Amino acid sequence: MPITSRLPALDDATASAAQRRVLDAILGGPRGNLDGPFLAWIHSPELADHAQRLGAFCRYGTRLDTRLTELAILFTASWWQSQAEWQIHAPIAQEAGVSAALIEALHEGPDADHALDVARDDEALVIRLGQSLYTTRRVSDALYAEAVAAFGEPAVVELVGVFGYYALVAMTLNVFAVRRGDEPLPFPEPPRGHAPQD
């Protein structure tokens, strides 16, 4: 599916050697495509190179079950109302085992109380961690202890990495207006030139 953005399209004639090297790494890796933020990041091949390696780990290499990783990604997409991030990851999350009811609840908003009602226990813990982290920028001792007991400290470190990496992805997609084909947008979009008001 074609991806567009505010940035000029990259073509073989104008791509630098550094851009070609990073493109080869991305296309030859587990993703195999330029979906998501890479259309923007490739304009800074050094950023793209580091980010794509971190992203490959966050998406494919953590100790977390893929279902929980994808849930954290969807939570982040909902929080940032990131159009392409949601479009790309909602079907992947469902395929990984996140229920349609939970996906719909998150689509309504990351603080939707009924998301917790339809989530499994481990999913609810991921949601509560995301809510705390994004809302208060902290995680309480009690919630931290609960997460460590459920997932182990290394996986909690990795989960925070997933939240952080996909927040970077969401910001990139939003700033550079990355769009996935002609699919309907999952979130309301403010008019160009206007930021949403509080």
Residue 31, pLDDT score = 64
Q: Is 63 helix (H, G, I), strand (E, B) or coil?
A: coil
Assess contact for 150 and 125: CB atoms under 8 A: yes
pLDDT tens track for 22-43: 888 877 877 666 777 988 898 8
Instruction: For residue 64, give the nearest of 167, 166, 156, 164 by alpha carbon.
Output: 156
Query: Which residue ranges of the chain lie beneath pLDDT 50?
Result: 198
pLDDT, position 27: 78
In 3-state terms the chain splits into helix, strand, coil percentages (rounded to 5) of: 65, 0, 35
- Under DSSP, the state recorded for 13 is T
What confidence score (pLDDT) does residue 172 get? 96
Output the pLDDT for position 57. Answer: 95
Distance CA 156, CA 128 (A): 13
182 torsion bin: left (phi>0), alpha (psi -120 to 50), beta (else): alpha
Cβ atoms of 118 and 101 closer than 8 Å:
yes
Per-residue model confidence (pLDDT) at position 1:
64
Q: Closest Cα partner for 71 from 79, 32, 182? A: 79
What is the structure's pLDDT at 132? 97
pTM: 0.90
